[in-house]
Amino acid sequence: MKTLVSVFLLVFCVTAEGQISNSKIADSLYATGNYIKAINYYAEEGSKSSGLQIARAYNAIGNFEKAIAQYQNVLSKKTTLQIAKFELGKLFLKTNDFNNAESLFLELTKVANDNPEYHYYLGETFREQKNVEKSIVSYKNATATDSTHLRSLFQLGKYYVGQREKDSALTFIDRGLRFYENDVALINLKALTYYNNDEYVKASPYFERLLELGEHKEYIYEKLAYCYFKDWEFEKAKINYKKVLELNDENSEAYFNLGHVFWKDKQIDSAQYYIQESIAVQKPFLLNEYVSLAGIARNKGDIKKALKYYKLAHQENPNDALVYHNVCTVADQYYKDPKIKLTYYEKFDERFGNKNNYMSKMVNKRISELKEKIHYDVK
């Protein structure tokens, strides 16, 4: 009898030791991102916790269908497991299955009403469903259970900034900044709150703070420049508008506003220059449109109009050899005087002669023909 008991205990210990070993190996593989091998070890182990880890591993590798199926399998065995419901809800949200996400987060907020994350993710689900009123209620519920819940405070601040409700916006923004004073998203909202309310002097320090924190973005420089302009700090405004143009030299509004700064500062020539640049960068690029209109005109037999559009296309892109070759061939059709025709082909040869062998050969052949015709016409 003692022998049988000893054998049983030995087998039990070996089995338990093997499970512990598999669990440790699986956890190590999971922690280092070797998810497929981790799944195999967790599957061998077969415990409730390993089932949850398998779901997490599938989620980590982006196999969301298998992850969802595994979470549902875990919950079928233990329906009260909050962590599985929470992670599955977030996965439903990630995969745009908002109805299932909503059901899970509603259930979780009823079970654990004091958990701000459950309220926050329910708010995120409502937001994705464009149900703004319900999302705001959920974010407020999150901050009621945790007054420092930054993501909920941000969403509330953002909403009230959009509504131009300054006092409400600042209530939530300032609460977040008291907890984390360098939160870039909240500082940005505070700057916009004052900016949208035409309080440019108050907005400036917050845009400046964003730059100090490394947020060197076009819109920040642009809004800060405008704040300086409104506060008659013209040199600072110029510096910041020029920063905008360093980041985006096609920002027509920045050119225009910079022109107005110079104008206000009585530097008329500079004002004129930047406003003209504003016009220049707004000019549309119409090459394809002009080429198409030229082709339509040719089809209709209107050679004069075709030539007009090809010339306009050439002005849009003087470096396009094919476009100017079309100018030449249409001019050849339109003009009767071989000398006029010759000037077009010679201009092509001068501009593109070494760049396109096929077209150059055709052009040189036509130049020879026209020169021969002019020679005999003179005689």
What is the pLDDT, as a whole number, of residue 97?
96
Residues 6+ apart with CB under 8 A from 138: 109, 119, 120, 122, 123, 126
What is the pLDDT, as a whole number, of residue 80?
86
Q: Which residue has the tokens 């298998």?
A: 66
Give the C-alpha separation, 114 to 278, whole Å: 55
- Evaluate whether residue 349 is within a structural domain: yes
**What is the helix, strand, coil percentage profile of the chain, to 5?**
80, 0, 20
Give the tokens for residue 136: 């705001």
Domain count for the chain: 1
The model's pTM: 0.71
- Evaluate whether residue 217 is within a structural domain: no
What is the pLDDT, as a whole number, of residue 29?
86
What is the pLDDT, as a whole number, of residue 18?
47
Residues 6+ apart with CB under 8 A from 346: 367
Q: Which residue has the tokens 């991102």?
A: 33
- Report whether 175 contacts 153 (CB < 8 A): yes
Give the C-alpha separation, 156 to 166, whole Å: 12
Give, for all 379 residues of the chain, the pLDDT tens digit: 444 444 443 444 444 444 456 778 888 889 998 899 888 888 888 777 888 999 999 999 999 999 999 999 999 988 888 999 999 999 999 999 999 999 999 999 999 999 999 999 999 999 999 999 999 999 999 999 999 999 999 999 999 999 999 999 999 999 999 999 999 999 999 999 999 999 999 999 999 999 999 999 999 999 999 999 999 999 999 999 999 999 999 999 999 999 999 999 999 999 999 998 998 888 777 889 899 999 999 999 999 999 999 999 999 999 999 999 999 999 999 999 999 999 999 999 999 987 767 888 899 999 999 998 887 775 5
- Evaluate whether residue 95 is within a structural domain: no
What is the pLDDT, as a whole number, of residue 7?
40
Long-range contacts formed by 179-183: CB under 8 A, 24+ apart = 179/148, 179/150, 180/150, 182/213, 183/150, 183/154
Instruction: Report the CATH number at residue 317.
Output: 1.25.40.10
Selection from 196, 192, 197, 199 nearest residue 217 by Cα: 192
What is the pLDDT, as a whole number, of residue 41?
84
- Evaluate whether residue 334 is within a structural domain: yes
What is the pLDDT, as a whole number, of residue 12?
41
- Evaluate whether residue 230 is within a structural domain: no
- Evaluate whether residue 145 is within a structural domain: no
Structural domain span for residue 302 = 287-378
What is the pLDDT, as a whole number, of residue 279?
84
The length of the chain is 379
- Evaluate whether residue 311 is within a structural domain: yes
- Evaluate whether residue 11 is within a structural domain: no
